[in-house]
Amino acid sequence: MNTDHQALLATLREEDANVIGSWLDEAHITDSGARRAAQTEAADILRQLSEGLQAGGDTARFEAPAWAGLRETLGALSRTRAAKGQSAADTSLFVLALKKPLFAAIQRRLGTDSAAMAASLWALSTTVDTLAQHTVGTYQLAREEIIRRQQEELLELSTPVVKLWEGVLAVPMIGVLDSGRTQMVMEALLQTIVETGSEIAIIDITGVPTVDTLVAQHLLKTVTAIRLMGADCIISGIRPQIAQTIVHLGIDLQGVQTKATLADALSLALKQSGWRVSRVANEA
């Protein structure tokens, strides 16, 4: 173990309870419930830090096996706080609040040896900084994972596969149609076709703001996949401006049935399926 860490290790062994209390005070955690939870987190961090130092770990090489336990503890701290909506700064400041009580404890131990105290305080400062930096990195990864999962859930909610009639499915598209979303829609639609044995699928693009070459390609890929499953496809929601855009871009939709509205597409689908819907005459 680095001799500059000897005073820190001794402090962690002999004064952990006092350090934890001062740490939580420095972090301004006063609520009883929050303080109990933070006390458990603080105790775990100090225990893992002590074990890492005793194993000869150097925080300059924080990815070493000696710090695996502490990395996991800090990672759990960051992920928990990210899920609660707290910021990376809040998590980092909580860890950095550990400096002051440890500084005070080391000064009491080495007050007569200025050289040893300076070296120990510098080692302590860089150690706590490393822990805080690790929480920031882990927090960022946790937030990115939460955002990615939320985006996937929103995509699933925004592109439901609806059974309109016996043998007729519909997918109302809303928003920008990109490759990732097209893939998700295609998988959900094809799976539903298999499960329901539907023969016709309607893709409604009324809620798609613009149609360019890329969007058209995505639509054609979806239509091709539907046909390969033995079903027919109708695209509805072809507004005048979208029709003009498709013509100007030279996009070939030959062979693809299109309708202006979802109602028109459903009417065509029912006709192709052999259904006839008629209004019941009012009785006199």
**Domain boundaries in the chain?**
3-153, 162-273
Fold of 3-153: Globin-like (1.10.490)
Q: Taking each helix axis as running N to C, give the angle between helix 179-196 and helix 114-158, from 0 to 180 degrees, rounded to the nearest 10.
A: 50
Q: Which of 174, 81, 113, 118 is CA-nearest to residue 4? A: 118
pTM: 0.53
Domain 162-273 top-level CATH class: alpha beta
Where residue 264 falls (left for φ over 0; alpha for ψ -120 to 50; beta otherwise) is alpha
With H, G, I as helix, E, B as strand and everything else as coil, classify residue 283.
Answer: coil
Q: How far is residue 167's CA from residue 199's CA, in Å, rounded to a whole number?
A: 5
Q: Which of 229, 281, 235 is CA-nearest to residue 259? A: 235
Q: Which of 39, 123, 24, 142 is CA-nearest to residue 82? A: 142
Q: Which of 3, 43, 49 is CA-nearest to residue 20? A: 43
Quickly count: other Cβ atoms within 10 Å of residue 143's Cβ.
17
Furthest C-alpha separation in the chain? 109
Burial of 153 (0-12, 13-18, 19+ CB in 10 A): exposed
Paired tokens of 234: 């109708």
Residue 54's pLDDT is what? 85
List the pLDDT tens digit at each of the 284 positions of the chain: 566 788 888 888 888 899 999 999 999 888 888 888 889 989 999 999 988 888 876 777 888 888 888 888 888 888 888 777 777 888 888 899 999 999 999 988 887 888 888 888 888 899 899 888 888 888 777 777 777 776 666 665 556 888 888 899 998 887 777 777 777 778 888 889 999 999 999 999 888 887 777 778 888 888 888 899 889 999 998 888 888 888 887 877 777 888 989 999 999 999 988 888 777 766 55
Residue 169's pLDDT is what? 93
Q: How far is residue 143's CA from residue 123's CA, in Å, rounded to a whole number?
A: 31
